[in-house]
Amino acid sequence: AQSVTQLDSQVPVFEEAPVELRCNYSSSVSVYLFWYVQYPNQGLQLLLKYLSGSTLVKGINGFEAEFNKSQTSFHLRKPSVHISDTAEYFCAVSVDKIIFGKGTRLHILP
Amino acid sequence: GAGVSQSPRYKVAKRGQDVALRCDPISGHVSLFWYQQALGQGPEFLTYFQNEAQLDKSGLPSDRFFAERPEGSVSTLKIQRTQQEDSAVYLCASSFEGETGIEQFFGPGTRLTVL
């Protein structure tokens, strides 16, 4: 079975500062990895995904994530956050169905 | 519309009442998924359809939950004799299976509150 652990439930960060949201997964088989964002009162939107190939994946809104197989991690990063990045971020792993982490709420401080 | 739509967006039910939640997937999408998202939690898988066939219903929490997709398009999630613990946001997602992995497109959800 697969599982996903998001290590931080909330991350406060100042506007224009860099941010990293951590995600670790476990699986006995190869998986697809995703980051989704959920803005207040909206549905989930795909930020980026890792299927195979380059371990550094670039997504929308300036986000990127790096797949590290040895550490079973897929951390999300952005070099400079904006107030509009305030949202809940979910890491997910998929073999036949998607398993989501519990989410990390990103607070942007002015 | 271009995206996944769900109705109603909000539903308040008295305990013991039956409810039906509707999902309209993106046209042409073969697969349809239902998730339950409790407050402060990530979405949890409920069930999965490929066309009209329900291939996986392992996430349905009890036999009070029932989902159907009779014509392989619109889907309905029905909850019978609702309980307070059923209060959550119910998300629907659809995907067009291809070679790029299982990317799912999510609807805005139905927020169910059971009093």
pLDDT digits (tens, 9 = 90+) for B61-115: 999 999 999 999 999 999 999 999 999 999 999 988 754 457 788 999 999 999 9
Contact A32 B101 (CB under 8 A): yes
Beta bridge partner(s), residue A107? A12
What pLDDT does residue B71 have? 93
What pLDDT does residue B25 have? 96
Instruction: Find the closest chain B residue to A49 by CA distance.
Output: B103
Contact A98 B103 (CB under 8 A): no
Per-position pLDDT tens, chain A of length 110: 789 999 999 999 999 999 999 999 998 888 889 999 999 878 899 999 998 888 899 999 999 999 999 999 999 999 999 999 999 999 999 877 788 999 999 999 98
Instruction: Find the closest chain A residue to B38 by CA distance.
Output: A102
The model's confidence at residue B1, banded by pLDDT at 50, 70 and 90, is: low
What SS3 state is found at A53? Answer: coil
- Shortest alpha-carbon distance between residue B104 and chain A (Å): 8
Asked whether the predicted pLDDT for residue B44 surpasses 80, the reply is: yes
Asked whether the predicted pLDDT for residue B26 surpasses 80, the reply is: yes
Q: Which residue has the tokens 């439930």?
A: A9
What pLDDT does residue A1 have? 78
Q: For residue A90, give the DSSP letter.
A: E
Q: Which residues 22-51 on chain B approach chain A with CB closer than 8 angstroms?
A: 33, 35, 40-45, 48
Average pLDDT over residues B18-27: 97
Length of chain A in terms of residues written = 110
**The two three-digit tokens of residue B31, written as one number:** 């697969």
* Residue B21 main-chain phi, psi, to 5 deg: -115, 135
What pLDDT does residue B100 have? 46
CA atoms within 13 A on the CB side of A56: 3
According to DSSP, the β-strands at A104-109 and A10-14 are parallel
Q: Are the beta carbons of B69 and B49 closer than 8 angstroms?
A: yes
What pLDDT does residue B63 have? 95
What pLDDT does residue B101 have? 53
CB burial class (10 A; 0-12, 13-18, 19+) of residue B16?
exposed
Taking CB atoms and an 8 Å cutoff, what residues of chain A touch B23?
A: none
Taking CB atoms and an 8 Å cutoff, what residues of chain A touch B102?
A: 32, 94, 96, 98
Q: Which residues 92-111 on chain B approach chain A with CB closer than 8 angstroms?
A: 93, 100-109
What pLDDT does residue A98 have? 85
Residues 6+ apart with CB under 8 A from A85: A19, A61, A78, A106, A108
Indicate left, alpha or beta for B30 from its phi (over 0: left) and psi (-120 to 50: alpha). alpha
